[in-house]
Amino acid sequence: MVVAVHLGRYQCVVDETAVTAMRARELGRRSVVVGDRVALVGDVSGDPDQLARIVRVAPRRSTLRRTADDDQRTPEGRLERVVVANADQLVIVSALADPPPRTGFIDRCLVAAYDAEIDPLLCLTKADLTAGADDPAVAELLDYYNALSLPYLLSRPDSPLEPLLRRLRGRMSVLVGHSGVGKSTLVNRLVPAADRAVGAVSAVGKGRHVSSSAIALRLPASPGSGPESGWIIDTPGVRSFGLAHVSADSLLASFTDLAEGSAECAPGCDHLGGPGCGLDAWVAAGRADPRRLASYRRLLGSRGAGDA
């Protein structure tokens, strides 16, 4: 499995041995990303200064993508980036304070997870800076996602890791989040040998990018973890998670609390609130949170230009 990519070299794990490889010419333009299962030929001893060659990439069980930007009118806005391959779970790391949570970003990650058919998990860090689930701001955030039955965990710097580990064991989980939300701190607690760089949050509430590339890390074995303890993939902090690659139908399907209400819409409805759109009546009847409808429409509109 590919666990890291750096300057055209691929770090792979073969039966617990770290092997450095390069792409074989016969792969053509086929991308190779962290999480890919690959076939190697050549020297797979892992000895220094030895290179194997990647000659085949196995079919991917899942592909988590993001678009560089949501503006489809420019070449950059149509650029799809594969974040990781073969992930089972997307752990959305969001701080409860410093910086405060952004539901727009969380919603984008959820859409990307559902589109890739990856299970989402919301990990809310810096709970020590709030009153926990009893804090009004935290309660409001959790209520916003109540209709989705979205699994979540609250994390403090000294909180036990076992609740999170139970959800990570035996799976390949990719962690995403803005810079400064405590993602690297969490990774260092889960895998102490990782030694991921940790950055501070600026006075304006924005984190510094301290990780420059994705890396897969095997979770340490523990009692009851079984033969496969699981993997986590730490990704660089991102400022946006573009969704231009997600179809309008898939975007609506990701808002499960609104999708059923679209049956009341007129044929060809764009769901942006014009005549014939049944989503407003659906929300007015108390069947969905109006904040969710507003977020859906922002994301739907942003597929043409801008970020949410």
Mean per-residue pLDDT, 286-299:
95
Q: Which range, 9-18, 190-199, 217-226, is most confident?
A: 9-18
Percent above pLDDT 70 for the chain? 86
Query: CA neighbours within 13 Å on the CB side: how many for 62?
Result: 20
Reported as a single tens digit per residue, the pLDDT across 3-56 is 999 888 999 999 889 999 999 999 988 899 999 999 999 999 999 889 999 999
> What pLDDT score was predicted for residue 137?
82
What does the radius of gyration of the chain's CA atoms come to, in whole angstroms?
A: 21
CA 118 to chain centre: 9
Which amino acid is located at 135 in the chain? D
Of the pLDDT bands very low, low, confident and very high (cuts 50, 70, 90), residue 202 is very low
Q: pTM score, two decimals?
A: 0.87
| Peptide linkage before 59 cis (omega within 30 of 0) | no
Mean per-residue pLDDT, 179-202:
75
Which amino acid is located at 146 in the chain? N
Domain boundaries, the chain: 2-57, 63-234, 248-302
Which amino acid is located at 34 in the chain? V
Q: Exposure of 134 by Cβ count < 10 A (0-12 exposed, 13-18 middle, 19+ buried)?
A: exposed
Largest CA distance in the chain: 67
What is the average pLDDT score of the chain?
86
Lowest-pLDDT range, 155-159, 225-229, 294-298? 225-229
> What pLDDT score was predicted for residue 206?
41
The yes-or-no verdict on residue 195 having pLDDT over 70 is no
Lowest-pLDDT range, 15-19, 279-283, 294-298? 15-19
Question: So what CATH class is 63-234?
Answer: alpha beta
Q: What is the DSSP letter of 266?
A: P
CB 176 within 8 A of CB 125: no
Strands 17-23 and 38-42: unpaired
Residue 146 phi, psi dihedral angles, 5° rounding: -60, -40
Q: What are the residues facing 67 on neighbouring strands?
A: 80, 242
Strands 9-14 and 2-6: antiparallel
From 54, 50, 49, 44, select the one nearest 24 (Cα to Cα). Answer: 54
- Torsion (CA) 176, 198, 232, 257 in degrees, nearest 10: -20
Place of tokens 């806005």: 77
Query: How many helices (H) and strands (E) would you count in the chain?
Result: 8, 13
Mean per-residue pLDDT, 200-214:
44
Mean per-residue pLDDT, 144-156:
92
Rounded Cα–Cα distance for residues 49 and 179 (Å): 34
CATH architecture of 248-302: Orthogonal Bundle (1.10)
Check if 63-234 and 248-302 are the same fold: no
Reported as a single tens digit per residue, the pLDDT across 56-108 is 999 999 999 988 665 555 555 557 788 899 999 999 999 999 888 999 999 99
> What pLDDT score was predicted for residue 71?
54
> What pLDDT score was predicted for residue 184?
87
Q: What is the DSSP letter of 236?
A: -
Query: CA neighbours within 13 Å on the CB side: how many for 223?
Result: 0
CB 2 within 8 A of CB 34: yes
Lowest-pLDDT range, 33-42, 138-147, 210-219? 210-219
